Structure 1
Amino acid sequence: MRSLRRALIGGLGGAALLLTPVHGQSPVQDRPSATFRSGVSLVSVNAVVKDRRGRPVRNLTRDDFTVLENGANRPIVDFGFSDQGAVSFGVLIDQSGSMTLSNNLDAAREVIRHLVAWFDAGRDEIALFAFDKQLRDVQPFTTDADAITAALPRLTAYGTTALYDAIASTAEQLETRPSPRRALIVVTDGLDTASTKTAEDVSAIASAIDVPVYVVVVMSPANHPDHGGIPLRQGDAPITTRLANLAYWTGGDMLIASTPAETSQAARRLVTDLRHQYQLAFESSSRAGWHELAVRTRNPDLQVRARSGYIAQPSSHGN
């Protein structure tokens, strides 16, 4: 399986996803052309459903959902809802040189402290990774939240930033965790100066292996677009737009933390999402390659977040 994951990441690295901002119309993508044998016949999808006020919706049934694959309806063969059981978190913190600006590294540490405060000690598991140009394993997966907070003072900001490469590598490690409820939480200022992959590449990789990416962008209130600030840009788009698209396609979300209140709210929202998930499964396509997914509910007032696609293996039976 590890070699298959490498093949997937290598194949998808050159594939382009053409994304538009999350707010407004939905992103549009080119289908990645990579194929590999996954050895599974069912595709599982975790979905978070919220009402218009952002509250989790818990009482839906199988008949309330629709799964579209490449635009065609697919029967849901397995279904469940869970707000119990362990959650696996991989936390990836930016410790590149740009994080020294506006005390962003201190703000990132505070995000993680708030996040850990919502953990179920002894049951949930968390690992801490850090990156500049290279990815570092700071604390392996543990059910001891204190081990994470104890490691935070050791982080120092220096070097260039390979944000997207680090997300791709860390998502691969999350794929092997035993809990079906898992996520990668990235705490960063959003700048990238050294990656070989793009945000679009990473979206495809994480979506295909069903690891939602939640991005918490730490920034000064002067740069917060919702507070009348001037958003930071990289290339031709605000960094928040690119990161929001990345999170959207993996079934995750992007949040901004520029004040203590936003920091606390972001941590609570992340944990709430992962504790209230629906699990859906359908039969994998017999046509090898990338397949677009859309999970919807029959109630148009509800918002659904789920991964945007998967890679199917060749099959001897028709579809």
Structure 2
Amino acid sequence: MHAERESSSTRRVKIRRSDAGWRALVFSLCAACLAATLSAQAGRRAHPTSEASSALNVVATRANGATAPITSKDISLFDNGVEQTIKNFAPDLSPARIVLLVDNSLTIRADVEKLEAATREFAYEIYDGDKLLIVGYDNNAEIVSDWTDNAKKIETELKAFRKKGDPHLFDAVLAVVEDALRPLSAQKRAIVVVSDGLDRGSKTNFKQALSALQSLDITVYCVQAQDRTRGAIRRDVPKPRQVIDDLAEGTGGRIFPIDDPRAAANAICDELRKNRYVLSYLPQSVPYSEARRLLVMGNEGINARAKTMQPP
């Protein structure tokens, strides 16, 4: 159930209040830590066998808006170009853990009030059981509001937003993945990036950030601000718009404009609760030691999305 909105200055919230206290925490990354993290990931990954089942998060809807359940007969999966046999395809109605990752850097083309609005709407759209973690980033990524479903608490703590420093987006993405979402392996996980996609100064490169998301099958939704670079070519890094496109497409997410945050929050929260499925299959005839292209397709009248790559 969504939180109830009131037109007065006091808003009554029906979702369960969190008892967890607020804590401030700064995520910081350095080159040595990054190398250690990536090495540890590789070391922990067991080599799959022909009997190892793989799971894939899928968003599936009917083009005509009908709510009838979608089954494995409506979906096709190709792993590295080879069509796979789907073992199971079931709705995932579990609660979500959603990180709102908000660009607080000095030059973003959105004022603090707009950033607050883009974030606040999610507090009133989440469903029972969902929780939000709000992280603002510039040169560092800092928790603004710890995991909670308490909308009033979130509204109060959003006053900590400020604009300063440079946007270390890729560092912030990797920090959130490793420190906040990796421990929640049994949970439905998503990140909402509120940004224009600009990164300036991260030690992490974009490929590393995207690979970390795809390895854990974490969906990224983007609430897109106006491009502060106006499309200028940047050496050695993708353009901001390309970052936004690739984050969403590469993880099975979507992009929304920052000018209508209520519509974005409503669509994202509804999708995570109503249109998420878990697909399982036994990968056949695929090279486990290489990155593999994934393609999920729906039959006629079925729209389906999932991450587009499985890192080695």
TM bracket, shorter-chain basis: 0.7 to 0.9
SS in 2 for 1:98: coil
SS in 2 for 1:289: coil
**What's the RMSD between the two structures over aligned residues?**
2.9
Partners of 2:87 and 2:206 in 1: CA distance = 32
Partners of 2:138 and 2:66 in 1: CA distance = 35
Report the TM-score, using the length of structure 2 for normalisation.
0.76
Question: Residues 304 and 38 (structure 1 numbering): CA distance in 2 closer, same or farther, change over 3 Å?
Answer: same
Residues 7-156 of structure 1 aligned to structure 2 (within 5 Å) = 10=38, 35-39=42-46, 41-52=52-63, 55=65, 58-82=68-92, 84-99=93-108, 101-103=109-111, 105-121=112-128, 123-156=129-162
Deviation at 1:211, TM superposition (A): 0.3
* Cross-structure match for 1:159: 165
Contact 2:34 2:204 in 1 (8 A): no
Amino acid at match of 1:129: V
Contact 2:199 2:240 in 1 (8 A): no
SS in 2 for 1:85: coil
SS in 1 for 2:291: strand
Question: Residues 102 and 144 (structure 1 numbering): CA distance in 2 closer, same or farther, change over 3 Å?
Answer: closer
Contact 2:56 2:280 in 1 (8 A): yes
* Cross-structure match for 1:250: 251
Residue identity over aligned pairs, in percent, reads 20
* Cross-structure match for 1:235: 233
* Cross-structure match for 1:303: 303
Contact 1:132 1:162 in 2 (8 A): yes
User: Is 1:211 equivalent to 2:218 in the alignment?
Assistant: yes
Contact 2:198 2:239 in 1 (8 A): no
User: Is 1:195 equivalent to 2:202 in the alignment?
Assistant: yes
Contact 2:167 2:198 in 1 (8 A): yes
Partners of 1:91 and 1:265 in 2: CA distance = 16
Partners of 1:177 and 1:210 in 2: CA distance = 12
- Matched length: 269
SS in 2 for 1:176: helix
Q: Which runs of 5+ in 1 are unaligned?
A: 13-33, 224-229, 313-319
Question: Residues 303 and 36 (structure 1 numbering): CA distance in 2 closer, same or farther, change over 3 Å?
Answer: farther
Partners of 1:6 and 1:199 in 2: CA distance = 13
* Cross-structure match for 2:13: none
